[in-house]
Structure 1
Amino acid sequence: MEFCPTCGNMLQFELPYLDQPSRFFCSVCPYVCHVNNRVKIKRKQRLVKKEIEPIISLDDMKNAPKTEATCPYCGHGEAAFKEFQTRSADEPTTLFYRCLKDICQKQWRED
């Protein structure tokens, strides 16, 4: 993938036509880059899986409000919760829970 050095949009590739070389061109501005040789891959970048950060960390559990919510995993009746606005402002908030049972500590959400 190549990007336009002028405006930053992704360049489009055009196959050769008659005696003209193939080229990359920008659909927004007049930038054109003629390709005389074969395009080589500069480098391959391996994707690294990131760790999922918990919504309610162990430090947050000490200060987070608690409620009587039944854990869907272990059935424990108490959980810490946090409320976030994950959608637009006219939609209801999303509640994120974390089980307070020491063995479980699973997280779930209610939209």
Structure 2
Amino acid sequence: MLLFCPTCGNLLRVEKGITALRFACNTCPYVFNIARKVSSRTYPKLKEVDDVLGGSAAWENVDSTEERCPKCSHSRAYFMQIQTRSADEPMTTFYKCCNPQCAHNWRD
């Protein structure tokens, strides 16, 4: 957590005071005593596979192949190949079920 001095705007540093830790400014005499430990974590929301691939517009002009859907067992699926790793690695194949009620996404 970064805190800034309300007097001069410089970054406050943590230092050990007489009884506890405190935030102190390097350039002016501002001091803010730390009363309690505050900690929190925020985890970023992972993107859906369809968002990473460019959304629904990316699936408009793709070919279909005979690939069985693992969710509904439909016999055909749209496919798209994208280079997700370094250039010397093989391309990743992404599939989308041709069944409009299912539209399940998976990769190979």
Tell me what 2:69 maps to: 71
Two-structure CA RMSD over aligned residues (Å): 4.1
What is the DSSP-based 3-state SS (H/G/I as helix, E as strand, rest coil) of the residue aligned with 2:60? helix
Give the letter aligned to residue 16 of structure 2: L
TM-score (norm 2): 0.58
Q: Which stretch of the first structure deviates more once superposed, 76-85 or 60-69?
A: 60-69
TM-score (norm 1): 0.57
Residue segments in structure 1 that go unaligned for 5+ positions in a row: 5-10, 26-30, 41-45
Tell me what 1:95 maps to: 93
Residue segments in structure 2 that go unaligned for 5+ positions in a row: 5-11, 36-41
Q: Quick one: which of 39, 61, 80 aligns to 1:82?
A: 80
| Cα deviation digits, residues 26-63 of structure 1 (max 9, x gap) | xxxxx8887612359xxxxx989587362374444331
Deviation at 1:76, TM superposition (A): 0.8
Deviation at 1:104, TM superposition (A): 0.7
Q: Does 1:37 align with 2:32?
A: yes
